[in-house]
Amino acid sequence: MPSAEQVSKANLSYKVIAAEGNGYGYDVYADGRILIHQPTVPGQPGISGFRKKSDSEKVAELVIRKLKNGEVPPTVTEEELKKLKVID
């Protein structure tokens, strides 16, 4: 894994991917190379993806903000998932 400084300076992007059970996940790219493959809801038990594509996008954008702020690895908390209305 690249250093936090390298990641924060990289061109970061994401792509929504298909996940288990008709759900969604995301991949995060740094300068076109895959950095994070997240087919499940982070920090949650089980192997389920997000129910809605928009939920996957919201969390991927949060992860990219964290990476740009030098947070490597970017941890997503249950509180953040609730705030984004991804989980109840």
- 47-70 pLDDT, tens digit per residue, is 889 999 999 999 999 999 999 999
Q: What are the boundaries of each domain within the chain? A: 4-83
> What is the distance between the alpha carbons of residues 58 and 65, in angstroms, rounded to a whole number?
11
pLDDT for res 1: 66
**β-strands 12-19, 23-30 pairing:** antiparallel
Tell me how far apart the alpha carbons of residues 23 and 7 are, in angstroms, rounded to a whole number.
28
- Token representation of residue 1: 């894994």
30 with 10: CB under 8 angstroms?
Answer: yes
Which pTM does this prediction carry? 0.93
Closest CA to 28 of 58, 56, 63: 63
